[in-house]
Structure 1
């Protein structure tokens, strides 16, 4: 299928892209292949989980293997980066010591183990909250992604140290990236900005947030039934053809209940007149066809009775109903004397002759206009039909789509709140400080606000495929914050001055943060090449959020730590 083919191409693209970035970063084939082996193990676990639970490859589940690659590579980068920096520091202090590699591995696990654990927990929460929704597809996606993103921690923690213990010690060219002049100059500029231009940082951030809030008020919640299908897809082009020439094919069913058995046979002219009035009202809308109902059948029967004279196509009168009543009164299970027309008329009634349906087709007008149309039809039906004698119900795929879209969007909004709450609790447990909790959440809320604002300004609608971006991006972006703050906390134990702690944290985590952000951003950019609109939205919106999160965590977060900390000595 097309979805399975896209999954294969995205998986291949994410692996190749990750391999290229790793080679540029580490200049080592062994480090590259080790990292790829880790994420391949993660992908196999994800596919095995899907098979174990009996899940099929859907549009969302197809994204899990490339997501595992994109999210798993940062684990490898942080572990290897810490191993290389520790090895180089130990070798410079005590060159020739035989257990340098072992000590470097111990420091790597001790420093990065707890950090990677909480990073993977946060990322897993960002996906696992979809399992709390009542949508089967989202539940499957949340369960598989959440389990396997968390499992990446154990895969990385076991495979990387074991493999490094057997590999030769790093050569100088393998650790040369630690002294990359271009990156070091960027970190120096970030240091200067954090120390000397905090007011400017807050002012610019405030202006961007204000601009984004204006954009948020421009957001519109609207979805279409074939919203995310490629514009060249046969289903999409066929639908547009029918909308152009026949006003659409989306079904709307209206059930008219007379509230008593054989209600359609008692005073049928009155009931038919009301149904015909409702049908005329529906047909007056440019987005809808003239409905089909038992009334149309009676009109055709009347015309046929008068030798096909078109002037007699109309509602039966008191004289006509005498001979047309046979279509209402005969038993539906009587096998004799039934022609095709009789069967067709009876298909619009139930066996008790209490209910009849009115079938209309309409264009894919979007959830906003559809809601307005259904409200108009509902109000008109209350005007035409006495609620004491009739009950009118709107149903059909169009109504199901409207209710389903609203249901999923509300569920996704709840999942964002759950993700935010659970991640906040993890951060509070990790740092045991309300100040650090505030400093960790603010730099990750700002990118979400900016992304929502950009959506409003460029006209991206709120729909299921765009709402899920926020909890996913929050779970991944918080990874940068955790690594920065954990290193900040570790540096504080040395009793350094607050400014020096922030400076050291920027230089010790900045390089790995920049490289992992590049991997994540590039990995999600791949999804922009999908043929499905929802996958494209996930790609570019998540990439935008991660770009903003990288800036806020490397620029705004250090400034915030300096502003909220004590001048002489910062304590957690």
Structure 2
């Protein structure tokens, strides 16, 4: 609506101006459409192209927004030069205090501003160049740091609830790691469980997980329950005989939802899940990079393979894709506007003049 209003404002402003100069309604409209049509059409075209470039986004709401808004801008232009003139012809001529003989009241202000620009053009060139250089330099240092609750205001009840859980209940940012045993091993194989326990140690001490659960957690919990519930018994078995006994008992529970949430019933794959504070995408990306390096260098990939996944990873990926889509869309928009200006003016110099502002 706001974007489409610009054509209406141009038409009515020029129409009233021509009436002020003494023209009749039809003559004023004829001059208005003749003088404003090309510029408004070009403006509507470039504006719609800007919105259409949002269709490069892989995020469906943004894609649809670009499509429908671009169409709406073009439709607003068509209606502004068809429906609006017809309505102005039918409406009574607006009452004017007196015909203008010397232009608008602000012409003097604009004239003085233009004269000042000409006198200080070197200063304006210098300042504009410095601003452009600073903008380009600072743009390269921009990093998108998103969190799970960026879209909510500080006083939103949902944000306050999440903040409470983030502070008192091990955080709200989810963590997911796929666990895939190699070869004929299962997720309850002693070597696999040792690797999982090693990963848990890194995640708890270095990565920052405040809560985690995995197939190793299941085995340690069952062992603790079978040994009187003492905290010291919450550990993996030290010998294969005890582990085989535990895994035999686990077979009776593998189809229960609590167990299936962490391991497949046949033991062919598992999941390490956890929670941490909402540290933001920049910090999370750095942590994930170090985690991947740790898994590549410290994990025995002949025993267990892993893959970082989950909703938080998906959110960070979507934010990254959104930024890339915006840059790609802007590049397409600049290219299209450059092509249009070149076709119209057939001059690279004029094209640069149009693009720089």
TM-score by length of 2: 0.91
Q: Does 1:264 align with 2:178?
A: no
1:143 matched residue in structure 2: 67
Q: Does 1:156 align with 2:156?
A: no
Q: Does 1:405 align with 2:319?
A: yes
2:274 matched residue in structure 1: 360
CA contact (8 A) 1:254 1:357 kept: yes
Q: Does 1:199 align with 2:122?
A: yes
Q: Distance in 2 between matches of 1:309 and 1:87?
A: 93
Q: Does 1:244 align with 2:167?
A: yes
2:217 matched residue in structure 1: 296
1:451 matched residue in structure 2: none
2:16 matched residue in structure 1: 84
Bigger proportion of residues as helix: 1
SS in 2 for 1:83: helix
2:243 matched residue in structure 1: 321
Partner deviation per Cα, 1:337-370 (whole Å, 9 max, x = no partner): xxxxx65334321233121111111222111111
Aligned ranges for residues 164-203 of structure 1 at < 5 Å?
Answer: 164-173=88-97, 179-181=103-105, 183-203=106-126
1:436 matched residue in structure 2: 350
Q: Distance in 1 between matches of 2:98 and 2:298?
A: 80
SS in 1 for 2:92: coil
SS in 1 for 2:186: coil
1:523 matched residue in structure 2: none
SS in 2 for 1:311: helix
Distance 1:177 1:355, change over 3 A: farther
Distance 1:379 1:350, change over 3 A: same
Q: CA deviation at 1:126?
A: 1.3
Distance 1:411 1:217, change over 3 A: closer
Q: CA deviation at 1:133?
A: 1.9
Aligned ranges for residues 152-551 of structure 1 at < 5 Å?
Answer: 152-173=76-97, 179-181=103-105, 183-265=106-188, 268-285=189-206, 287-318=208-239, 319-330=241-252, 332=254, 344-443=258-357
SS in 2 for 1:297: helix
Distance 1:304 1:178, change over 3 A: farther
Q: CA deviation at 1:384?
A: 3.7
Q: CA deviation at 1:82?
A: 1.8
Q: Distance in 1 between matches of 2:170 and 2:327?
A: 34
Distance 1:277 1:357, change over 3 A: same
Q: Distance in 2 between matches of 1:87 and 1:280?
A: 81
Q: Distance in 1 between matches of 2:216 and 2:245?
A: 15
Q: Distance in 2 between matches of 1:212 and 1:168?
A: 50
Aligned residues: 356
Distance 1:243 1:218, change over 3 A: same
Unaligned ranges ≥5, structure 1: 1-67, 92-99, 334-341, 444-572
Q: CA deviation at 1:332?
A: 4.6
Distance 1:379 1:210, change over 3 A: closer
CA contact (8 A) 1:303 1:312 kept: yes
Partner deviation per Cα, 1:435-490 (whole Å, 9 max, x = no partner): 322221112xxxxxxxxxxxxxxxxxxxxxxxxxxxxxxxxxxxxxxxxxxxxxxx
CA contact (8 A) 2:207 2:291 kept: no
1:105 matched residue in structure 2: 29
SS in 2 for 1:351: coil
CA contact (8 A) 1:261 1:352 kept: no
Distance 1:140 1:248, change over 3 A: same
CA contact (8 A) 2:213 2:272 kept: yes
Distance 1:434 1:117, change over 3 A: same
Unaligned ranges ≥5, structure 2: none
SS in 1 for 2:38: helix
Q: How much is the aligned-residue C-alpha RMSD, in angstroms?
A: 2.4
Q: Distance in 2 between matches of 1:122 and 1:133?
A: 19
Distance 1:379 1:191, change over 3 A: closer
Q: Distance in 1 between matches of 2:3 and 2:257?
A: 59
